[in-house]
Structure 1
């Protein structure tokens, strides 16, 4: 991460639109023009929990919310508000664990590899527990210039 210009560490609620039980990430650790790092404490109960914790496939949403935090940080820095974005898909999602055990502290990192003027982006993501990478993927996202107008058009 660039040390030239410090980037403010916003409260997570200020940079992502997710609320209530659907906000799965807990804290912004760092961000810059190309990268974001967030933290997740896997809950003991939540919308995705089962007896083994949280299924590993939920890691895709942890990654997507990390990307949302990155976009929200950029919007805040420019004086704007976080916007709604869309998870388009993943490639090569690999998880070493079948579940994320309740109580484990996860670090989620997303690195922007491609961001088009049309709002399409591709991120290399990983989830770590301690020094071990426990999940990786490439995540595709879309952030339209006006998400609400985009949703209205799609509903018509």
Structure 2
């Protein structure tokens, strides 16, 4: 499957290139290389605070992979917020290799989850955060999108 199959939103804003590792009910490791077509570039720079979207996309892929194991299709999830977002470099540049490792801390039956995410640039830790997400069932998403 393609990354776009795991993220049910516009491919124009898909920031993840590849799944490196997926451990069900535990973690995901993804990779991306900052390229000139990246929609978040400003003056050739990808400002690190925007990496929260990359972390969120890693969790979207994780959720879609979990759904795939249950025979379900990928649906929209929601980033509710973040805590302890730490940035150790102001920006990335074109050509930088980004690796994100996200680990499940809590995931309940309603779809609420808490994940610890770390972002490495060229092998060095450059950002980390605790993300709160909601991955509701398909009926909830249909209702929310119709309102």
Q: How does 1:1-156 map to 2 (within 5 A)?
A: 10-33=1-24, 34-146=26-138, 147-152=141-146, 155=147
1:112-134, Cα deviation, whole Å (9 max, x unpaired): 00001111100000101233111
Q: For the Cα contact (< 8 Å) 1:41–1:103, is it kept in 2?
A: yes
Q: How many equivalent pairs are there?
A: 144
TM normalised by structure 2 equals 0.91
Q: Which runs of 5+ in 2 are unaligned?
A: none
Q: What's the C-alpha RMSD, in Å, of the aligned pairs?
A: 1.3
Which stretches of structure 1, 4 residues or more, deviate above 2 A after TM superposition? none
Matched position secondary structure for 1:124? strand
1:14 positional shift:
2.2
For 2:21 and 2:128, locate their aligned partners in 1 and report how far apart those are by CA, in whole Å. Answer: 19
